[in-house]
Amino acid sequence: MAALPEGRVLTDPDVTESYARDRTFLPPGRPLGVVLAQSRDDVVATMRWAADHRVPVVPRGAGTGLAGGATAIDGCVILSLSRMTAIRELSPRDEIAVVEPGVITADMDRAAREHGLMYAPDPSSFEISTIGGNLATNAGGLRCVKYGVTRDSTLGLEVVLAGGRVLRTGRRTMKGVTGYDLTGLFVGSEGTLGVITAATLRLRRAPRSIATIAAEFTSLRDAAEAVAAIIAAGCQPSLLELMDRTTLKSIDEWKNIGLEPSTRAMLIAQSEGSPDEMAALCGAASFVATASTPEEADELVGLRRLAYPAKERLGQCLTEDVCVPRSRLPEMITSIEEAAARHDVMISTVAHAGDGNVHPVFIFERGLAEPPPAVWAAADEVFRAALDLGGTLTGEHGVGVLKQRWLGLETGPLVTELNHGIKQVFDPLNILNPGKAI
């Protein structure tokens, strides 16, 4: 890669190994090297070299993915975009920003809030995940119940294709239907169609006030029923998050939050209006409280953000994110509890409940190369239950490697054929993140 400036390429195996894995338990392959891209030109040079030499390229952001989408394969080049951190433009008048893929999600939001705006997508990993990774998986997060997922905040992209050509998609306007929606196609494509080097993002007005409530329940199903009631009543929450007893206990053992023995679930909700109706719909709750200060509200939401790192303290994690129609959430919750009991597997469940997006985390012994058979059996049962309820295998984490064994159950042969045809159009040499997503 002589076209790259000195210092951009790493080949020491002890160094490259740290770039080879994501946040899953999956053992990575052995990369040839790592490119530390600092500009679009670095990405172009890398892709041209890779095409000339038929070398696979695995794009990588911060490595916070939970599906194996950024894990190395043998003989690949890891293309790290974490140094591309420029906010090229932020226009308060047009309520847009143009940013590079290495920008941390929370930093984008903080920059917008200096102008009375916000960047709506809000994954729990917002302090460490990057915009590029969010785009790759079409990430959602805590605020997606009201504002949608990453695709809903993406107006246009700058993408380097497999042979090094630069494609620009989309627009800077709020509306636009010229041609096919290539922007929407790339968002969620997990690095298999091109490498995103910049994105034009939609910003929104930050709310002037937010009310936050927390409700504790003695039954996880009762909490799910409260979620369904809140949605059915048209309350339009801006955040509606659910945590089960296992999750709360793992946080309590770490942070000593004063968890009551009878509490089996907690619901955290926010609204840009009055919280009274949401609180009233939590009729089965054993306790309901409204945050009296912004600091108290931040503490409550902070509990939800602690969920995944708290679970990692318990063992290795197979983290999933099935999504079902919101009215079927209570049934999905029951199916998860039944699968855990039937297979004697620890499952810790949280949910972006207002979306019907449930994160069952299957926890197993550290040091194992992969989950034991009982975990896979429980996961299989959970995935099939989600599909039977009219749901999907993944709401925001992506397929990566972990969900491929179930992919055909949802897509079917015709969709699979079309997906591979699209891949062939954009990446005829199959060098972009091969073996992932589809």
pLDDT band for position 3 (cuts 50, 70, 90): confident
The CATH number that applies at residue 132 is: 3.30.465.10
Asked if 91 and 174 sit in the same domain, the reply is yes
DSSP code, position 82:
T
Asked if 115 and 187 sit in the same domain, the reply is yes
Write down which residue in 277, 311, 345 finishes a domain. Answer: 311
| 160 within a domain of the structure (yes/no) | yes
Residue 178, Cβ density class (10 Å: 0-12 exposed, 13-18 middle, ≥19 buried): exposed
Asked if 330 and 280 sit in the same domain, the reply is no
Asked if 290 and 345 sit in the same domain, the reply is no
| 55 within a domain of the structure (yes/no) | no
Asked if 272 and 327 sit in the same domain, the reply is no
| 272 within a domain of the structure (yes/no) | yes
Across 54-63, average pLDDT: 97
Q: Using one digit for the tens of pLDDT, what is the confidence trace for 210-261?
A: 999 999 999 999 999 999 999 999 999 999 999 999 999 999 999 999 999 9
| 381 within a domain of the structure (yes/no) | yes
**Start-to-end Cα distance in the chain:** 29
Write down which residue in 260, 280, 311 finishes a domain. Answer: 311
| 169 within a domain of the structure (yes/no) | yes
Structure token digits, residue 23: 């946040």
pLDDT band for position 275 (cuts 50, 70, 90): confident
Q: Using one digit for the tens of pLDDT, what is the confidence trace for 354-377?
A: 999 999 999 999 988 899 999 999
pLDDT band for position 71 (cuts 50, 70, 90): very high
Across 275-292, average pLDDT: 93
Asked if 351 and 339 sit in the same domain, the reply is yes
As for how many domains the chain has, the answer is 3
- Closest to 26 measured CA to CA, from 79, 63, 55: 63
Residue type, 263: T
The CATH number that applies at residue 378 is: 3.30.70.2740
Residue type, 12: D
| 266 within a domain of the structure (yes/no) | yes
The CATH number that applies at residue 279 is: 3.30.70.2190
- What is the pLDDT of the chain when averaged over all its residues? 95
Structure token digits, residue 27: 């053992």
Write down which residue in 205, 226, 251 finishes a domain. Answer: 205
| Per-residue pLDDT, 1 | 67
Asked if 215 and 294 sit in the same domain, the reply is yes
Domain enclosing residue 339, as ranges: 315-397
Asked if 146 and 253 sit in the same domain, the reply is no
| 408 within a domain of the structure (yes/no) | no
Asked if 155 and 185 sit in the same domain, the reply is yes
CA distance 164 to 160: 6
CA distance 406 to 399: 9
- Closest to 118 measured CA to CA, from 110, 128, 127: 110
Asked if 173 and 232 sit in the same domain, the reply is no
Q: What is the pTM of this model?
A: 0.94
Asked if 305 and 261 sit in the same domain, the reply is yes
Across 274-291, average pLDDT: 93
- Closest to 368 measured CA to CA, from 410, 329, 318: 318
Asked if 156 and 95 sit in the same domain, the reply is yes
| 126 within a domain of the structure (yes/no) | yes
Across 132-151, average pLDDT: 95
